[in-house]
Amino acid sequence: MNYKGFLFDLDDTLIDRKNAYEYMYKIFYDSHKEINSSLTWESAKEFFWSLSPNGAADQKKSIAAINKKWPSIPNDPVEHKRFYFETMINGLNALPNSYKFIKKISSLNIKWGIVTNGDHYQFKKIEKVGWEKIIPFLLASDIYGSKKPEPEIYHEAVRLLDIEINKYDYSKILFVGDNPYTDILGAHKVGMKTAWIKMDRDYPKDAPYPDIIINDVEELLDLM
Protein backbone atom coordinates (compact mmCIF):
# COMPACT_ATOMS: atom_id res chain seq x y z
CA MET A 1 0.00 0.00 0.00
CA ASN A 2 1.17 3.50 -0.77
CA TYR A 3 -1.21 5.84 1.03
CA LYS A 4 -0.54 9.36 2.20
CA GLY A 5 -3.14 9.23 4.96
CA PHE A 6 -5.46 6.97 6.92
CA LEU A 7 -8.91 7.80 8.24
CA PHE A 8 -10.65 5.53 10.71
CA ASP A 9 -14.13 5.05 12.04
CA LEU A 10 -14.11 4.65 15.83
CA ASP A 11 -16.69 2.12 17.05
CA ASP A 12 -15.93 -1.51 16.13
CA THR A 13 -12.96 -0.30 14.13
CA LEU A 14 -10.55 0.85 16.84
CA ILE A 15 -12.64 0.31 19.98
CA ASP A 16 -14.90 -2.57 20.96
CA ARG A 17 -18.43 -1.22 20.74
CA LYS A 18 -19.94 -4.69 20.32
CA ASN A 19 -19.03 -5.96 23.77
CA ALA A 20 -19.68 -2.57 25.36
CA TYR A 21 -23.17 -2.53 23.81
CA GLU A 22 -23.96 -5.94 25.25
CA TYR A 23 -22.48 -4.92 28.62
CA MET A 24 -24.77 -1.88 28.70
CA TYR A 25 -27.95 -3.73 27.76
CA LYS A 26 -27.19 -6.60 30.16
CA ILE A 27 -27.24 -4.03 32.97
CA PHE A 28 -30.47 -2.59 31.54
CA TYR A 29 -31.94 -6.12 31.36
CA ASP A 30 -30.95 -6.97 34.93
CA SER A 31 -32.39 -3.68 36.18
CA HIS A 32 -35.88 -4.19 34.74
CA LYS A 33 -37.99 -7.05 36.07
CA GLU A 34 -40.48 -6.47 33.24
CA ILE A 35 -37.79 -7.64 30.81
CA ASN A 36 -35.86 -10.28 32.72
CA SER A 37 -39.05 -12.01 33.89
CA SER A 38 -40.40 -12.26 30.35
CA LEU A 39 -37.31 -13.14 28.29
CA THR A 40 -34.07 -15.00 28.76
CA TRP A 41 -30.97 -12.87 28.36
CA GLU A 42 -30.21 -14.55 25.04
CA SER A 43 -33.64 -13.66 23.66
CA ALA A 44 -33.48 -10.14 25.06
CA LYS A 45 -29.99 -9.69 23.62
CA GLU A 46 -31.33 -10.60 20.17
CA PHE A 47 -34.02 -7.94 20.55
CA PHE A 48 -31.54 -5.30 21.71
CA TRP A 49 -29.29 -6.02 18.75
CA SER A 50 -32.26 -5.49 16.43
CA LEU A 51 -32.18 -1.87 17.66
CA SER A 52 -28.66 -1.40 16.28
CA PRO A 53 -28.54 -2.32 12.58
CA ASN A 54 -25.05 -2.12 11.05
CA GLY A 55 -23.50 -1.13 14.35
CA ALA A 56 -25.43 2.12 14.78
CA ALA A 57 -28.37 2.98 17.03
CA ASP A 58 -30.75 5.88 17.48
CA GLN A 59 -31.35 6.05 21.22
CA LYS A 60 -34.70 7.83 20.82
CA LYS A 61 -35.99 5.09 18.53
CA SER A 62 -34.47 2.42 20.76
CA ILE A 63 -36.27 3.47 23.91
CA ALA A 64 -39.51 3.92 21.95
CA ALA A 65 -39.22 0.32 20.72
CA ILE A 66 -38.43 -0.90 24.23
CA ASN A 67 -41.42 1.02 25.63
CA LYS A 68 -43.68 -0.46 22.96
CA LYS A 69 -42.62 -3.98 23.95
CA TRP A 70 -42.65 -3.25 27.71
CA PRO A 71 -45.04 -0.29 28.26
CA SER A 72 -44.20 0.07 31.95
CA ILE A 73 -40.64 1.15 31.08
CA PRO A 74 -40.64 4.95 30.65
CA ASN A 75 -40.14 6.32 27.15
CA ASP A 76 -37.58 8.94 28.18
CA PRO A 77 -35.10 9.49 25.33
CA VAL A 78 -32.90 11.94 27.27
CA GLU A 79 -32.44 9.60 30.21
CA HIS A 80 -31.97 6.57 27.95
CA LYS A 81 -29.27 8.33 25.95
CA ARG A 82 -27.45 9.25 29.15
CA PHE A 83 -27.69 5.69 30.48
CA TYR A 84 -26.79 4.24 27.08
CA PHE A 85 -23.53 6.13 26.60
CA GLU A 86 -22.35 6.43 30.19
CA THR A 87 -22.86 2.72 30.81
CA MET A 88 -21.33 1.69 27.50
CA ILE A 89 -18.27 3.81 28.19
CA ASN A 90 -17.83 2.11 31.56
CA GLY A 91 -17.60 -1.24 29.75
CA LEU A 92 -15.53 -0.03 26.83
CA ASN A 93 -12.11 -1.31 25.77
CA ALA A 94 -9.88 -0.87 22.75
CA LEU A 95 -9.99 -3.67 20.22
CA PRO A 96 -7.04 -6.06 20.42
CA ASN A 97 -3.98 -4.77 18.55
CA SER A 98 -5.58 -1.45 17.52
CA TYR A 99 -3.24 0.50 19.80
CA LYS A 100 -0.28 -1.40 18.36
CA PHE A 101 -1.39 -0.44 14.87
CA ILE A 102 -1.89 3.28 15.46
CA LYS A 103 1.42 3.48 17.30
CA LYS A 104 3.08 1.85 14.31
CA ILE A 105 1.65 4.19 11.68
CA SER A 106 2.45 7.15 13.92
CA SER A 107 6.07 5.98 14.11
CA LEU A 108 6.13 5.88 10.30
CA ASN A 109 4.96 9.52 10.20
CA ILE A 110 1.78 8.54 8.37
CA LYS A 111 -0.96 11.14 8.80
CA TRP A 112 -4.16 9.77 10.28
CA GLY A 113 -7.28 10.68 12.19
CA ILE A 114 -10.73 9.49 13.27
CA VAL A 115 -14.06 10.34 11.64
CA THR A 116 -17.08 9.22 13.62
CA ASN A 117 -20.81 9.77 13.75
CA GLY A 118 -21.76 11.00 17.21
CA ASP A 119 -21.27 13.80 19.69
CA HIS A 120 -19.14 14.61 22.77
CA TYR A 121 -19.53 11.04 24.02
CA GLN A 122 -17.11 9.95 21.28
CA PHE A 123 -14.39 12.00 22.97
CA LYS A 124 -15.27 10.37 26.29
CA LYS A 125 -14.72 6.98 24.67
CA ILE A 126 -11.23 8.04 23.65
CA GLU A 127 -10.52 9.17 27.20
CA LYS A 128 -11.78 5.83 28.56
CA VAL A 129 -9.23 3.85 26.52
CA GLY A 130 -6.49 6.38 27.29
CA TRP A 131 -5.83 7.60 23.76
CA GLU A 132 -6.55 11.32 24.11
CA LYS A 133 -2.85 12.24 23.81
CA ILE A 134 -1.99 10.08 20.81
CA ILE A 135 -4.86 10.78 18.41
CA PRO A 136 -4.11 13.60 15.94
CA PHE A 137 -7.80 14.51 15.65
CA LEU A 138 -11.29 13.14 16.16
CA LEU A 139 -13.97 14.59 13.89
CA ALA A 140 -17.42 13.98 15.42
CA SER A 141 -20.40 14.48 13.14
CA ASP A 142 -22.84 16.06 15.60
CA ILE A 143 -20.27 18.67 16.57
CA TYR A 144 -19.04 19.37 13.05
CA GLY A 145 -22.53 19.47 11.51
CA SER A 146 -22.27 16.77 8.84
CA LYS A 147 -22.35 13.00 9.25
CA LYS A 148 -21.16 10.01 7.29
CA PRO A 149 -21.93 9.24 4.48
CA GLU A 150 -22.34 12.95 3.60
CA PRO A 151 -19.31 14.18 1.60
CA GLU A 152 -18.70 17.31 3.67
CA ILE A 153 -17.36 15.41 6.68
CA TYR A 154 -14.87 13.52 4.50
CA HIS A 155 -13.63 16.75 2.93
CA GLU A 156 -13.14 18.24 6.39
CA ALA A 157 -11.23 15.15 7.48
CA VAL A 158 -8.85 15.55 4.53
CA ARG A 159 -8.29 19.17 5.49
CA LEU A 160 -7.43 18.07 9.01
CA LEU A 161 -4.99 15.46 7.70
CA ASP A 162 -2.99 18.37 6.30
CA ILE A 163 -1.30 16.43 3.51
CA GLU A 164 -0.23 17.43 0.03
CA ILE A 165 -2.91 15.98 -2.16
CA ASN A 166 -4.94 16.92 -5.20
CA LYS A 167 -8.31 17.98 -3.80
CA TYR A 168 -9.98 16.19 -6.70
CA ASP A 169 -8.16 12.92 -6.09
CA TYR A 170 -8.47 11.24 -2.69
CA SER A 171 -7.27 7.84 -3.91
CA LYS A 172 -4.14 8.10 -1.75
CA ILE A 173 -6.28 8.10 1.39
CA LEU A 174 -7.55 4.86 2.93
CA PHE A 175 -10.75 4.96 4.97
CA VAL A 176 -11.16 2.07 7.42
CA GLY A 177 -14.53 1.26 8.96
CA ASP A 178 -17.09 -1.41 9.82
CA ASN A 179 -20.31 0.11 8.44
CA PRO A 180 -20.92 -0.43 4.71
CA TYR A 181 -23.63 2.26 4.55
CA THR A 182 -21.77 5.08 6.26
CA ASP A 183 -18.02 4.40 6.30
CA ILE A 184 -17.57 2.59 2.99
CA LEU A 185 -20.34 4.30 1.01
CA GLY A 186 -19.31 7.82 2.01
CA ALA A 187 -15.58 7.29 1.44
CA HIS A 188 -16.25 5.61 -1.89
CA LYS A 189 -18.35 8.57 -3.07
CA VAL A 190 -15.49 11.04 -2.54
CA GLY A 191 -12.93 8.77 -4.21
CA MET A 192 -11.09 7.35 -1.19
CA LYS A 193 -9.89 3.78 -1.05
CA THR A 194 -11.70 1.71 1.56
CA ALA A 195 -11.03 -1.12 3.99
CA TRP A 196 -13.96 -2.88 5.63
CA ILE A 197 -13.79 -4.54 9.06
CA LYS A 198 -15.57 -7.83 8.46
CA MET A 199 -16.60 -8.85 12.02
CA ASP A 200 -17.81 -12.29 10.85
CA ARG A 201 -20.32 -10.77 8.45
CA ASP A 202 -20.95 -11.04 4.73
CA TYR A 203 -20.71 -7.82 2.77
CA PRO A 204 -24.14 -6.54 1.65
CA LYS A 205 -24.99 -6.44 -2.02
CA ASP A 206 -26.47 -2.94 -1.92
CA ALA A 207 -23.32 -1.03 -0.90
CA PRO A 208 -20.20 -0.23 -2.96
CA TYR A 209 -17.63 -2.98 -2.54
CA PRO A 210 -14.57 -2.13 -0.43
CA ASP A 211 -11.04 -2.27 -1.82
CA ILE A 212 -9.82 -4.34 1.13
CA ILE A 213 -11.61 -6.68 3.55
CA ILE A 214 -9.93 -7.33 6.90
CA ASN A 215 -10.81 -8.78 10.29
CA ASP A 216 -9.01 -6.05 12.26
CA VAL A 217 -6.77 -3.06 11.62
CA GLU A 218 -3.59 -4.98 12.46
CA GLU A 219 -3.97 -6.90 9.21
CA LEU A 220 -3.17 -3.65 7.41
CA LEU A 221 0.39 -3.86 8.75
CA ASP A 222 0.96 -6.96 6.61
CA LEU A 223 -0.08 -4.96 3.54
CA MET A 224 2.13 -1.96 4.22
Going from N- to C-terminal start, the domains of the chain cover: 5-16+94-223, 17-90
Please give the model's pTM, rounded to 2 decimal places. Answer: 0.93
The Cα 9–Cα 68 span in angstroms is 32
- Looking at residue 1, what is its pLDDT? 67
Question: What are residue 94's DSSP bridge partners?
Answer: 15
Contact yes or no for 174/6 (Cβ under 8 A): yes
Mean pLDDT by 10 residues, the chain (224 residues): 90 97 98 97 98 92 98 96 97 93 88 97 97 95 97 97 84 96 97 94 95 93 78
Domain 5-16+94-223, CATH among 3.40.50.1000, 3.40.190.10, 1.10.3720.10, 2.40.10.340: 3.40.50.1000
pLDDT digits (tens, 9 = 90+) for 135-193: 999 999 999 999 999 999 999 999 999 998 877 789 999 999 999 999 999 999 999 99
Cα three-residue angle 71-76-79, rounded to 5 degrees: 130
d(CA 19, CA 30) in angstroms, rounded, equals: 16
Provide the CA 165 distance to its chain's centre, in angstroms: 26
CA–CA gap between residue 211 and residue 193 (Å, rounded): 6
